[in-house]
Amino acid sequence: MLALVGTHYHFRRVFPVALRPLFGKTEFWISLKTGNKSEARLSAVALHARTSALFRTARTMTDSAQNKPITRDDLLALYEDIIKKQEEGQRPPNGMPQNSSRLSATQPA
């Protein structure tokens, strides 16, 4: 989901209830550092795809590429990789540059 906070868009996605204990978070919330809605949408689509893949991996707890069990540390490394790629300014499919971003996550109560 895109949310306009002040003058910049943010991406927010709730962690599935069953996966919250694995990540220690209830939601994924990251600033897209842009006020341009079109650019924010492109970034959000990429982040949605990355988090969907992360959730699928977490549910199966198996690395399909290596056919081996995945640990909690592996999942957290994948999560951090999503953040790192966003911060490095991965380009969306049409070649528009993305801006850097930050993560803030709500801890479960």
pTM greater than the 0.85 cutoff: no
* pLDDT score, position 49: 94
Per-residue pLDDT of the chain in tens (109 residues, 90 and over written 9): 899 999 999 999 999 988 888 888 999 999 999 999 999 999 999 999 999 999 988 888 765 666 667 788 888 888 888 888 887 775 444 443 343 333 334 444 3
* pLDDT given at position 64: 63
Output the six-digit token pair for 100.
């850097």
Among positive and negative, which fits the CA dihedral 79, 85, 87, 90? negative
* Structure token digits, residue 93: 């499919």
Instruction: Please state the separation of Cα 52 from the chain's center in Å.
Output: 8
**Dist. CA 33–CA 26, nearest whole Å:** 22
Q: So where are the chain's domains?
A: 2-87
Predicted confidence at residue 47, as pLDDT, reads 94
Report the DSSP pairing between strands 62-63 and 68-69: antiparallel
Q: Residue 18 carries which DSSP code?
A: G
Beta bridge partners of 29: 12
Q: Which residues pair with 55 in a beta bridge?
A: none
Number of other CB atoms surrounding residue 60 within 10 Å: 11
